[in-house]
Structure 1
Amino acid sequence: MARIAFLCPPFAAHLASFRALGEVLRERGHEPFFLLNAGATGATGDIPIHHVPARPGDPAIGRVLAAAEKPGGLVATLRTIADSAALTDQYCEGGRERLAALGADAVVGDQMEPAGFLLAKALGLPFIGLACAVPIDPAPGVPLPFLDWPFEPSAEGKHRRTATIASALSRRQNQVIAGWAERFRIGPHGSLQDCLGPVQIAQIVPEFDLPRPRPLPFVPVGPLRRAEELADRPLPFARPDKPLVFATMGTLLGGDLKLWRALARACREAGTALVLAHGGRLSDTEAASLDVHHAADFLPYRSVMKGAALVITHGGSNTVLDALACGVPLLVRPVGFDQPGNLARVRHHGLGEELASLRRPGALAAQIKRLVADDPMHDRCGKVASALANAGGTAQAATIVESVLCP
């Protein structure tokens, strides 16, 4: 039995993946717990949450989350990087003492939070990295996750220049990493890529990722989901007699009435039935005004997607992987973070397209109708679904964690 600390950003999708892993580890007799930034909360179930102390001048978690939910493309991503540097600094300031007091035997850290690696090294604890989103591991021809560029193995110069720009934009974060690596006396570390560790787990699989040299720097296990998320659950609506299109934009665009109205109109013109989840961002009156088959704040994604012919999404990793796990093509409208990187992978493998402009309703309706009827695309998605199903999922991730605890 081991006490395993989870360190990750305070975003719902990341917490959900860690929670799924934690529940399996707990079933195997371990004691997982979250160590989060001061003030961070989330749906972690029965897995305990502990916090590092707050400090004067630290960004409030509520403001960080609110800022991250505002669409803004690269600007929003850079703003989040700046906030992340401050949260990493807070983690490192109080995390070593907290982990020691909590009796941590190992650390599982999100790729996007370098404090997990730094603190584990400082305490001499085993460390396992987890890529909840698009992996940030560098590879020839693979663009950075916040870009929707195609795979270009011959564009070495362009990718090198982009990496240089990204390094400049992440200067504050890199300074925090280097400063704490020096204070902890763990050797030179100056970027997120320096804090990935030798053992990494990723939700992505090669059949969906851009090409990377072998051996891979991470173990691809597929989506980390709880058992109840994978179970067939009754739907709060009747199955339509038309092809079902499921749309969700997370909390990023859940309240965008203009978007929902455009999708509702396009789906009607395409002869499909639209079901949408708005994340609690619409009032009952607003949702009822959309004239769709069904609208709700939240829905059992997997159960809905199993009967869907198309998924429309902002491109968050969890939604994209869930759709592909159900063999469903995607229309993606990315707004920032790793969503463009997911779109690049959707395009590369022919698993969907970027959502047509809302200013061209006829083109959007034609796009929806065409993708719903694209049998070869559905076949390609089915092959990715098989790869995800065979990757091992949460059970395989837990086995990897245990292999590091007891090599």
Structure 2
Amino acid sequence: MAPPDGEAYLRRQPWPFTPILEDVLPRGYQAELHSRLADPDLTSAAHRELTREFIRRRGERNREILFGSAFESRLRDSGADLLLVDATFTLPALAAHKVGIPAFQLCTNLALHRDAAVPPLTSHHIPTGSLRSRIRIRAAWEWLYLHTFMPGGERMRAPVREFYRRHPDASPGDFHAHLQIGPHLKVPTLVTCTPGFDFPRASGGIHYLGPCVDRERTEAPLPPEIASGTEPLILCSLGSHGDRVRAHRPFFQAVIDTVARRPQWRLLMAVGGQVGPEGFGPLPPNVTVVERVPQLSALKRASVMITHGGLNSVKECICLGVPMIVHPLVFDQPGNAARVVHHGLGLRGDIRQASVQSLSAQLDAVLGDDAYRSRVQALQRDFLAADDSGLGARTIEQLLQPFESRATPQPKRAIP
């Protein structure tokens, strides 16, 4: 179930698709919004208007999910035994309570709720267990929690409080979380990773499903010069959002200039549609620049990946045994980069300060030290074993058993 813009992708999979929120988020809205925001001639006044409209639609979406009859009807008609809700938007799990369907939070990133032993994913901090580290972690979480009382957070709290007044027996939740639209709910939290990549946590309720990487997916072919080359391959990509900020162009240029000085290396770099391969002029013979890259196919040949640190890219690197140099941008990427460094899977850089000198030093360090690849390969075995064992399916079936035997939901006190 997704807004209409999700249909084009989901129809390529062997799954039935149910559109939701068509009135609030009509087909084409997301692409139009991104296109207008990327317009270099967009005025400040127009940007403010787009932002106000986005916030208005988001408020309508939240109220439709919590109180609207259309979404509730589609949930009821689905006949579902379980609703898996994207952990970044938890409100549909509350709606599922109204129709008696159990709901779990599914994290395609690492867990997002507060943990005394683990900093927020937006932090670069690597916990050490020291008093100073614990204070730093607590301060980071408190700062994020205070932000939920700002006007934007209050716009979310008000309908959630109203929902709990109407449905006091719904699964309790709180706003001690980050990168979530809505509260973190006290329902099973499913994480598409293994604990071996995460930091040790103090809180419970987290169930690791394995990396859940589709290693057999169909991809476009590699460029011929990459498919047939024998030189060490450097793969560079900032992910699906990396091309939306034109400021990344100097970073891409620094990577090109770095590899241009090393004819014994080969570079395959994805820059997205906004920057475009044509934006870099004549390229060195050992550099290939494309809009999109078939990432799994490229990783099978790569010696190292320069990445933004999105969890999907990090997991794919681990599954293919490829060390990383992570230049995090936003969201959970700083926390993922911290874990890459902590586990010795690669290095971290600052995209704002990247230069030929810093990139050369990082590439020399990772390519020149087999210990990085050895540590990635050790975690690779853990990842592949988890996926091949069917851990995710077994975990969900076990978590569902209490719901299957429960005649009526047990009352719980909700504390938003």
Instruction: Establish whether TM, by shorter chain, passes 0.5.
Output: yes
SS in 2 for 1:294: strand
Match of residue 310, structure 1, among 288, 304, 328: 304
1:234 deviates by 5.1
Cα distance in structure 2, aligned partners of 1:138 and 1:66? 35
Q: Deviations over 1:98-155 (max 9, x none)?
A: 2113333320011111113212222221222211012113322210111111114333
Worse overlay, 312-321 or 157-166: 157-166
Counterpart check, 1:121 vs 2:121: no
Q: Is the 8 A contact 1:69 1:251 kept in 2?
A: no
Q: Is the 8 A contact 1:224 1:394 kept in 2?
A: no
Counterpart check, 1:93 vs 2:82: no
Aligned counterpart, 1:184 = 167
What letter matches 2:9 in structure 1? A
Cα distance in structure 1, aligned partners of 2:23 and 2:184? 24
What is the aligned residue count? 362
Aligned counterpart, 2:269 = 276
Match of residue 236, structure 1, among 223, 238, 247: 223
1:39 deviates by 5.3
What letter matches 1:54 in structure 2? D
Normalised TM-score (structure 2): 0.75
Counterpart check, 1:162 vs 2:140: yes
What letter matches 2:91 in structure 1? A
Cα distance in structure 2, aligned partners of 1:251 and 1:278? 10
Worse overlay, 310-319 or 169-178: 169-178
1:287 deviates by 6.1
Counterpart check, 1:138 vs 2:102: no
Match of residue 360, structure 1, among 355, 378, 383: 355
Cα distance in structure 2, aligned partners of 1:224 and 1:140? 27
1:217 deviates by 2.7
Cα distance in structure 1, aligned partners of 2:253 and 2:324? 19
Which runs of 5 or more structure 1 residues have no equivalent in the other structure? 1-34, 71-78
Q: Deviations over 1:308-361 (max 9, x none)?
A: 111111111101111111111111111111111101111211111122565532
Counterpart check, 1:298 vs 2:292: yes
Worse overlay, 264-273 or 103-112: 264-273
Normalised TM-score (structure 1): 0.77
Which runs of 5 or more structure 2 residues have no equivalent in the other structure? 40-50, 178-182, 405-416
Cα distance in structure 2, aligned partners of 1:398 and 1:263? 41
Worse overlay, 397-406 or 105-114: 397-406
Cα distance in structure 2, aligned partners of 1:167 and 1:349? 29
Match of residue 49, structure 1, among 18, 35, 50: 18
1:167 deviates by 1.6
Q: Name the larger-Rg structure.
A: 2
Instruction: Report the aligned-residue RMSD.
Output: 3.4
Q: Is the 8 A contact 1:141 1:152 kept in 2?
A: no
Q: Deviations over 1:180-238 (max 9, x none)?
A: 23333335533275644443321222221112248x53222232233532x79853333
